[in-house]
């Protein structure tokens, strides 16, 4: 969804550029040139162009991601966010692709954010407390307690969709 949205915005910016170019050309029209017609073009392109900077800085809350849901033991060690958690807490590790590799992972803006994860069995809310190094874009590694809400542990790896709730 991210790339689809971005490509739409890119097209919008391109359309706006074309309109500007057409307007420039029309400033010195040749004898056979039609007068510039498209105030309607300009009206439709402009809002898309103006929305683009807002979108690029806007929050990802509500944006849906899909990937694999797995589970791990948060109790094994201190997580990437610098916190100690138990297997009974509703916590999760965000995939490395999205978490990235900040110099200080403890300061990652993802630490402490809440997500709603939906799997085959249901949905659960969990707080991001760690990074999952072997997980790919869209994947979430959940505490066993959180995973229990979306699938049976025997399944191990299940398709999920999820969103940031804050």
Ligand X SMILES: *[C@@H]1O[C@H](CO)[C@@H](O)[C@H](O)[C@H]1NC(C)=O
DSSP 89-132: S-EEEEEHHHH---SSGGG-TTTT-EEEEE-SS-EEEEEEEEEE
Sole binder of ligand X in the list 5, 116, 137, 156 (CB under 6 A)? 116
Long-range contacts from 38-43, C-beta under 8 angstroms, 24+ separation: 41/15
> Judged by CB under 6 A, does residue 166 bind ligand X?
yes
Task: Name the residue nearer to ligand X (CB basis): 33 or 61.
Answer: 61
> Judged by CB under 6 A, does residue 86 bind ligand X?
no
Task: Name the residue nearer to ligand X (CB basis): 45 or 150.
Answer: 150
Distance CA 72, CA 97 (A): 18
Please check whether residue 112 is in contact with residue 124, taking contact to mean a CB–CB distance below 8 angstroms. Answer: no
> Judged by CB under 6 A, does residue 124 bind ligand X?
yes
Sole binder of ligand X in the list 127, 130, 135, 147 (CB under 6 A)? 127
> Judged by CB under 6 A, does residue 114 bind ligand X?
yes
Q: Which residues bind ligand X (CB under 6 A)?
A: 112-114, 116, 123-125, 127, 165-166
């Amino acid at each position: 969804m991210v790339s689809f949205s971005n490509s739409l915005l890119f097209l919008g910016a391109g359309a706006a550029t074309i309109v500007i170019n057409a307007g420039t050309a029309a400033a010195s029209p040749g004898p056979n040139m039609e007068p510039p017609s498209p105030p309607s073009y300009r009206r439709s392109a402009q809002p898309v162009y103006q929305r683009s900077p807002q979108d690029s800085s806007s929050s990802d809350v509500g944006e849906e991601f899909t990937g694999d849901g797995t589970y791990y033991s948060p109790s094994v060690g201190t997580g990437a966010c610098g916190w100690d958690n138990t297997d009974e807490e509703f916590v999760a590790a965000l995939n490395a692709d999205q978490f990235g590799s900040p110099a200080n992972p403890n300061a990652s803006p993802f630490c402490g954010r809440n997500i709603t994860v939906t799997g085959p069995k249901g949905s659960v809310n969990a707080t991001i407390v760690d990074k999952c190094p072997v997980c790919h874009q869209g994947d979430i590694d959940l505490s066993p307690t959180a995973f229990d809400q979306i699938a049976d542990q025997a399944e191990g790896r299940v398709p999920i969709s999820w969103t940031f709730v804050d």
